[in-house]
Structure 1
Amino acid sequence: MNFLVTGAAGFIGYHVTERLLDAGHKVVGIDNLNDYYDVNLKLARLGRLETNSDFTFIKLDLADRQGMADLFAAQQFQRVIHLGAQAGVRYSLENPLAYADSNLVGHLNVLEGCRHNKVGHLLYASSSSVYGLNRKMPFATDDSVDHPVSLYAATKKANELMSHTYSHLYNLPTTGLRFFTVYGPWGRPDMALFKFTKAILSGESIDVYNHGEMRRDFTYIDDIAEAIARLQSVIPTVDKNWTVEQGSAASSSAPYRVYNIGNSQPVKLMEYISALERALGITATKNLMPMQPGDVLETSADTQPLYEAIGFKPQTSVDEGIARFVAWYRAFYNV
């Protein structure tokens, strides 16, 4: 099939594109190649994808309304996997307008492209951050997501609401993907594992927030890509028996679904760091810091609906996943 992957030069976008190409699909990848983090890493990812003749890269900003409309009209995609966004919880505290342009206007442009060109299925990145102040564990897609604690999280909830509207009004099948702390090779330099690894190998200390008293549902990137590759063929359908009063919040009378994609095995931050120390063979010097604004204490994914839909759920252990990341990091940076 002919796929569009937005954010194809990004961490998740790169891995998903590679997975689709391996399965024999044609992929058009777009990215604006912004400098939120090292552009050379993005270009290196693209360089690997461009060795496949079924991949085409177009530099394009999601917020470019005419450019996006022209792209959709020219390509006539059968599937769209929308992973492009302005990422990062903490960055949203400093640069909120970047999130409005990319995550709100950009998402609307994707929805409009799908609507006007009869795309068969739109899958888009949401986030575990939408659960905000929730304390019930594990997080289930039936839970309320009305209390986000960062603008980033608020934009991701807005994406789900916008998608439901288009599913309802235009019968556009949409699937939201709530990712839980994704990590692995080719990861983002602004995320903890990358920052910790770089600091430890440089002989520097690492900042450990909330004195390490946090738990995360760390999810390995290959598991994310596998789940998306399977979900793209599970197209939501209309359910005329669904009601707001009795139906799941993750579904609808419209062709709309939302899934958690997480490892379902929360790990203490200190245990995560210990796994990294074992992989590196170095003990880190730790600066114990207070909680950061916009952060949450714990995440844990209920993935039973995902398993029922595709017969798969993430399961790569932290020890295995971190070892693979460290091997990639040492090779890529020649450390």
Structure 2
Amino acid sequence: MKYLVTGAAGFIGSAVVEKLTEAGNCIIGIDNINDYYDVKLKHARLDRIKNKNFSFIKLDIADRDAVQQLFIDEQFDRVIHLAAQAGIRYSIENPHAYADSNLIGYLNILEGCRHTNVGHLIYASSSSVYGLNAKTPFETSDRVDHPVSLYAATKKSNELMAHTYSHLYDIPTTGLRFFTVYGSWGRPDMAPFIFIKKILDGETIDINNNGDMWRDFTHVDDIVEGVVRIADVIPSKNTSWTVEQGSPATSSAPYAIYNIGHGSPINLMDFVKAIETELGIKAKKKFREMQPADVYQTYADVADLFEATGFKPSVDVKAGVTEFVKWYRDFYHK
């Protein structure tokens, strides 16, 4: 298969590229290498991919003409779209970055798929779309109409845009709602990375909502396995589906949505304790109130994913934290 992987220098994107090339697929990876966080880390992720089946192009998905030409030149079988302006709190500070990447850039990818008859578009959504949902676990059959951040709203928009293109142009699309991803080569703006860095540097870590928060921490290896497996599960039309009786995660169009999460949320303080144990260092903690655009709990129901692929995320927090800490110490010589 010939794949386009967007966000190829990213945390999840680079790992997906590595997995796909090892399986013998031909991959074109694109990324704009922006400076939202350390570009040296992004380049290091790309440098670790030593495979003749991988080619990298520096390209911004918001560049309509460049994206259009790429699709025409390369004629992809499948697209795994992971490029996005990430971060929930940053969307409060710089909302326009989210419109450029997550809306305009995403539309450019959809148009590329439409005009070159791509066989399957797999794209990253987010657990953040569940917003104010209080019922747990979060199921893809739940309504997701009340996001609490602009980032979440753009991800919900991506799902709606995908459905439109699936309906109008018969493009098979699959959205994947990722739950709190952590592990080797992780993002420096995310809490697990921040905790490890600050504890090792002797700095104080901020604990939101006074520690009373729950997250469905999911190791990157499980995320990547789910992405690669779901690429082979191409949604088809379901002529018996109706809005009134069907799940919003499926459709009469070739459209599907899945959660990818561990399926067993843990308390934030237990996650911090696992890091402390692995580092052998007690963290200095500052407890504070819930922050804007944050949510109390995330919890994935992954029954649909298992039914479709036979895969259920399995890396537990102890093993995942051990792996992450080892990588961090090795990479940063700590």
What TM-score bracket applies, with the shorter chain setting the length? over 0.9
Aligned pairs (5 A) from 1:1-335: 1-49=1-49, 51-335=50-334
* CA distance in structure 2 between the partners assigned to 1:83 and 1:62 by the alignment: 11
* CA distance in structure 2 between the partners assigned to 1:291 and 1:243 by the alignment: 39
- Structure 1 residues 133-182: Cα deviation after superposition (integer angstroms, max 9, x where no partner): 00000000010100000000000000000000000000000000000000
| One-letter identity of the residue aligned with 1:10 | G
- Structure 1 residues 35-71: Cα deviation after superposition (integer angstroms, max 9, x where no partner): 000000000001112x211100000001000000000
TM-aligned CA deviation for residue 205 of structure 1: 1.1
Q: Quick one: percent identity of the two aligned structures?
A: 64
- Structure 1 residues 221-257: Cα deviation after superposition (integer angstroms, max 9, x where no partner): 0000001111001000000000001111100000000
* CA distance in structure 2 between the partners assigned to 1:198 and 1:302 by the alignment: 31
TM-aligned CA deviation for residue 126 of structure 1: 0.2
Q: What do you get for the CA RMSD once the two structures are aligned? A: 0.4
Question: Given the two structures, how large is their TM-score scaled by the length of structure 2?
Answer: 1.00
TM-aligned CA deviation for residue 313 of structure 1: 1.3
* CA distance in structure 1 between the partners assigned to 2:138 and 2:225 by the alignment: 21
* CA distance in structure 2 between the partners assigned to 1:204 and 1:235 by the alignment: 47
TM-aligned CA deviation for residue 330 of structure 1: 0.4
* CA distance in structure 2 between the partners assigned to 1:313 and 1:173 by the alignment: 23
- Number of matched pairs: 334
* CA distance in structure 2 between the partners assigned to 1:148 and 1:248 by the alignment: 19
* CA distance in structure 2 between the partners assigned to 1:93 and 1:301 by the alignment: 25
| One-letter identity of the residue aligned with 2:276 | E
SS in 1 for 2:48: helix
* CA distance in structure 1 between the partners assigned to 2:114 and 2:48 by the alignment: 32
* CA distance in structure 1 between the partners assigned to 2:299 and 2:200 by the alignment: 30
- Structure 1 residues 186-211: Cα deviation after superposition (integer angstroms, max 9, x where no partner): 00000011111111111111111111
Unaligned runs of 5+ in 1: none
TM-aligned CA deviation for residue 315 of structure 1: 1.5
* CA distance in structure 2 between the partners assigned to 1:17 and 1:313 by the alignment: 21
SS in 1 for 2:153: helix
